[in-house]
Structure 1
Amino acid sequence: MRSICAMRSLLAAAAAASAPTVLRAGAFPLLPPLLSLPLRRGRAARNMLGAARTVSAAAQSRLGGGAAMDVRAAQSGEIHVIVGPMFAGKTTALLRRVQAEAGSGRTVVLIKSDKDNRYGLDSVVTHDGTKMACWALSELSSFHDKLGMEAYDKVDVIGIDEAQFFDDLYDFCCKAADRDGKIVVVAGLDGDYKRKKFGSVLDVVPLADSVTKLTARCELCGRRAFFTLRKTQETKTELIGGADVYMPVCRHHYLDGQVVIEATRVVLGLDRSTVTAQALK
């Protein structure tokens, strides 16, 4: 009888020894994602771990270091671009977005080019009269210094109107969103009256979280207007004006309008030549 009991004890001990070990969930702390690598021995493993730490330190150094400029802050930035022809409601869309952000508790700031002084320099104003206080600047790079570091750190959202007039738009958006974690909303013309690229607005598109293309109504037929027709004979690209200088048109009337404008220029040129010739007689 004793031998049978002893045999059973030996069998139970052998079964327990051969059973797989079950680890309790959470028994070991999880490694950071950067260090979640296959476990290796020797110099190769030490070199890999050291390289990973070096890359991480270099990345944090480029981002400025510190709590205000850490990796998590850099990942929270956004860029949203609003484009379209004149009178498409770009400024209205910008103000709505900025006001909505302010309503959600975020600190917002508006910037516009000091070249646009149609409605004064202290406000961003829509064509229907809606306005909001702003900073009027010649260069976006000066905004940080003018506002001050402490005030800048508290800003969550930066709205930029008439963005086509800022030559440093691309660099500013990169730093504000990627480095400083700001939400940047850019509104401006994507093309000039010749349907050529206007300023740096299109350069920001590859950086953007979203791009909105607005349209107006053609003043000649009421269809959707994608282009801006200049009514005057002025040929310089930057010409500030409203309905007295520009009108939104569809593709058909843009092409027709260009023909009419060119014909007018030819006629005016002939008239000037005639007047000059007569004056010399």
Structure 2
Amino acid sequence: MAQLFYKYGTMASGKSIEILKVAHNYQQQNRRVLLATSSVDTRYGIGKITSRIGMESDAYAIGMDEDLSQLNTDGYAAILIDEAQFLTRKQVVALAKIVDTNDIPVMCFGLKNDFDNCLFEGSEALLVFADKISEMKTICNYCGHKATMNKRLSDSTEQIVIGGDDDYVPVCRRHYYETNL
């Protein structure tokens, strides 16, 4: 029985490398996967999944207003989605229906919370609808303890500011608050 998976972690926790690894494993078995990412993430171009260690792949770019209930899943063994925090609740519900109706596993990877420690819409919906939820761990940029939050290095107050290592660092709760005072 297929399931909806949600793997979340802070920035730099290895989400993109993990999704590329999963895609590779399917492809090694000659099984087709639909590799997708949000069109909101433009760091490396629209429709690109790129890891910090340099591995990358082209991917289907999901638009913010796209109706995923119309997604053509014929011939796919799995659907793998990076930057899933940018999905809408409606899109997550559509993915859950794809799992239930088409018996195709859907694996979503993304951030849980933003720089202000609020859930993203897609993350909140995935926490509600996913059959399996797991955390990808990394360490605090300042002390080496487990990182649970994303520290934005700029003064922007927008929820979505696309960026990488120059813009965000993974931090523990203590250093999130100490560095925000």
Asked if 1:107 is matched to 2:32, the reply is: yes
1:181 to 103, 106, 112: 103
- State the secondary structure of the residue aligned to 1:121: coil
1:249 to 163, 166, 171: 171
- Are the counterparts in 1 of residues 68 and 94 from structure 2 also a CA contact under 8 Å? no
Where does residue 116 of structure 1 map in the other structure?
A: 41
- State the secondary structure of the residue aligned to 1:83: strand
Asked if 1:234 is matched to 2:156, the reply is: yes
- Name the amino acid aligned to 1:100: N
Aligned pairs for 1:128-167 (under 5 A) are 128-139=53-64, 140-141=66-67, 144=70, 149=72, 152-167=73-88
What is the CA distance between 1:201 and its match in structure 2? Answer: 1.7
Separation in 1 of the partners of 2:8 and 2:168?
16
- State the secondary structure of the residue aligned to 1:225: coil
- Are the counterparts in 1 of residues 2 and 103 from structure 2 also a CA contact under 8 Å? yes
Where does residue 195 of structure 1 map in the other structure?
A: 117
- Name the amino acid aligned to 1:210: K
Structure 1 residues without counterparts, runs of 5 or longer? 1-75, 260-281
Separation in 2 of the partners of 1:190 and 1:169?
16
2:3 to 74, 78, 96: 78
TM-score (norm: length of structure 1): 0.60
- Are the counterparts in 1 of residues 69 and 91 from structure 2 also a CA contact under 8 Å? no
What is the CA distance between 1:143 and its match in structure 2? Answer: 7.9
Runs (4+) of structure 1 exceeding 6 A deviation are none
- State the secondary structure of the residue aligned to 1:111: strand
Separation in 1 of the partners of 2:67 and 2:104?
15
Percentage of pairs with the same residue = 27
Tell me the C-alpha RMSD between the 2 structures: 1.8
Where does residue 219 of structure 1 map in the other structure?
A: 141
Separation in 2 of the partners of 1:177 and 1:197?
24
- State the secondary structure of the residue aligned to 2:74: helix
Bigger share in strand: 2
Separation in 1 of the partners of 2:92 and 2:62?
16
TM-score (norm: length of structure 2): 0.90
- State the secondary structure of the residue aligned to 2:93: helix
Asked if 1:210 is matched to 2:137, the reply is: no
